Structure 1
Amino acid sequence: MSAFEDSDGETDFKEISSTNYQRVQEKVAKISYADGIADGREKVFQDSFDEGFENGFKTGFELAKLSAFYEIMKNAQAETENIELRAEQEAYYQHKLADATDKAHFKYLEHQGESLNVISNKQRIYVDDLLGTLAQQLPATTNLFTSSSSGSSVNVV
């Protein structure tokens, strides 16, 4: 009879072990799945943040650079002898550009339902087009902020 009892005990042990193994496997799978989702989310958020930061920084920096230049000239009441710079200063003010941090410059507000890549691309195109237009209309000023070919110095008029 003891052989029969041992066989039942062994069968019970195998069933309990198998059930416990299944539970542990399910828990590990759930934890791994949750970790995978968290890691994926973190990667997407970081990449999106990096891209948005780069776009926002470029937009703000480039526009603020021009705005600050002309504001300093205006506040100093600089009577520059450079007629070209004076004409460009007038042209800049005729653009009536919003402040660098104004919502008008950030395309994510106009394309909220679209993917981050599309929004980022639209932001880049907007900034590049705006800076290209300003460079064409304000060549003397934009050349002030361009590095010379000999190194990292800034051209001075």
Structure 2
Amino acid sequence: MTAASPKTVRADLADALDASRTAREEAERELHRSFALRSRAAEALERTAGRPGLDESERARLRAEYADADRVVAERLAAMAKAQEFERAASVVAHAFEDEATSASPLAAALLQLVGSKRGATARRGALVSGRTAPAARVRSPRPRTA
């Protein structure tokens, strides 16, 4: 297993920071869109509240529409929180590497080795790295984290 150069690690960390920033910005846009859709659904439901002669099936449809919009808002809030968490983590790692890269720090050495092992695993395609079955380049887990 060879270690990657500090220059390579810096480039990878910069790419991770850019990707995490882009993901967070997209999550924010999606959240704002979902807030707007939920607000429209709420207004439509409220407009029908006092209207006499309105079919109850129409009110049920409007309530379901609002419930769907509210569910989407909750999902978008969770996605944005995850994107913000990932962006903070990428920033912390990048700053820590910059602070420690010039010294003989164990943190910098570990990051260099990790990136080197990631590149080796990518080249071998499917070889086990550190006894793990998932590729080392994988950043996100499909399962939500718990405390």
Q: TM (normalized to structure 1)?
A: 0.39
Bigger-Rg structure (1/2): 1
Structure with more helix by fraction: 1
Q: Which has the higher contact order (CA 8 A, sep 6+)?
A: 2
Q: TM (normalized to structure 2)?
A: 0.41
